[in-house]
Structure 1
C-alpha cells in the first residue's frame, strides 16, 4: 500500500473529499528540496487539489487522516491512462490507412479520432469500482499527525 496524510474538507455518504498534506524532507527524499514529485505537481497544478476517497471509517470534516491506495490499483490506472490512448491512436491510424485513401492526412485524422475517443471514454464513460480506489485507512483527529514522506509498504 502507498499512503499519505490528508485533511478532510467535506464528506458525502460513503466518501470524503480530502486535501493532501504537503510533505517535508525526510530520509527517503532529497534532503534540500523534499519530494521532487510534489514540487513538480505544484508547478503544473493548483496549490490545493481536492480528491474524492472512500470513507469506511466515517471521518468527519476537519479531521486529519491517512489515505492509502494499493500498488496494483496504481499500475492498473496507469495502464488504462497511457495504454488505451496509444492503442486507440494506432488503430485509428491503421483504419485511416485501410480506408483506401492514400493521403497521410487520413492516417493522422484516424489517429486523432482514436485518441479523442479513448480520452472521452476514460474521462466520462469508464468508471472503475470504487472499492479499489484511494481509501481512508486511519483517523488522526483534529490535530495534524507527524510530518514526513509518504511511505510505500
Structure 2
C-alpha cells in the first residue's frame, strides 16, 4: 500500500474533497545545491491535486487524513500509460516500414501508433478508474484542527 497525507477541503454526503500537495523527489537528496533537476522543479508550477474520496466518517476542513492506494493498481496504471503508446509506436512504425519501405512511412506509422496507443491508454484508464481496487482509501484520520490547543506560559505569569 502506498500512503500519502492529504488535507480535507470539504466533506458532504459521505464524500470528502481532499487536497494533496505534489512533492518533488529532489528534497531529500544530498546534492541539492548543485542539482539541475531541483532548479527545473522550482521553475515549474507548484501543483496541488484535489481528489474526491468516499468517507462515512464526517470530516472537518483542514483536517489531515492518510490516503492509501494499492501498489498493484498504481504500477498497472503506470505500465498502461507508458507502454501502450510505446508499443503502438514500434508496431505501427515497423508495419508501415515493411508495407511501404520508406523512412517517411515509418515515421508516419510511428506517429499514428503512438497517438493510437495514447488514446487506447486514455480509454482503458477511464474504464479502470471505476474499479474499487483502483480507488484511494482513507486509512487513518487525524484530529480536527480545532481539537488541538497549545497553551504557552511565560515566567512572568507566575504559573
- When the two structures are superposed, what TM-score results if normalisation uses the length of structure 2? 0.65
> Contact between 1:19 and 1:48, CA under 8 Å: does it hold in 2?
no
Instruction: Describe the superposition over 1:98-122 as per-residue Cα deviations: whole angstroms up to 9, x where unpaired.
Output: 3x31211111111111111121232
Gaps of 5+ in 1: 24-28, 34-38, 145-153
> Contact between 1:3 and 1:68, CA under 8 Å: does it hold in 2?
yes
Answer 1 or 2: which has greater helix percent: 2
Residues 75-90 of structure 1 aligned to structure 2 (within 5 Å)? 75-90=75-90
> Contact between 2:92 and 2:109, CA under 8 Å: does it hold in 1?
yes
Q: How far apart, in 1, do the equivalents of 2:91 and 2:80 lie?
A: 16
- When the two structures are superposed, what TM-score results if normalisation uses the length of structure 1? 0.67
Instruction: Give the number of aligned pairs.
Output: 134
- Greater CA drift, 86-95 or 116-125: 116-125
- Greater CA drift, 118-127 or 71-80: 118-127
1:112 aligns to what?
A: 111
Q: How far apart, in 1, do the equivalents of 2:136 and 2:86 lie?
A: 26
Gaps of 5+ in 2: 33-37, 147-159
Bigger Rg over Cα? 2
Residues 1:40 and 1:19: Cα distance change in structure 2 (over 3 Å): farther
1:49 aligns to what?
A: 48
Q: RMSD in angstroms over aligned alpha carbons?
A: 3.3
Instruction: Describe the superposition over 1:29-65 as per-residue Cα deviations: whole angstroms up to 9, x where unpaired.
Output: 55796xxxxx689547542422324324445451321
Which SS does the other structure have where 2:145 is aligned? coil
> Contact between 1:69 and 1:134, CA under 8 Å: does it hold in 2?
yes
Residues 1:125 and 1:74: Cα distance change in structure 2 (over 3 Å): closer
> Contact between 2:96 and 2:106, CA under 8 Å: does it hold in 1?
yes
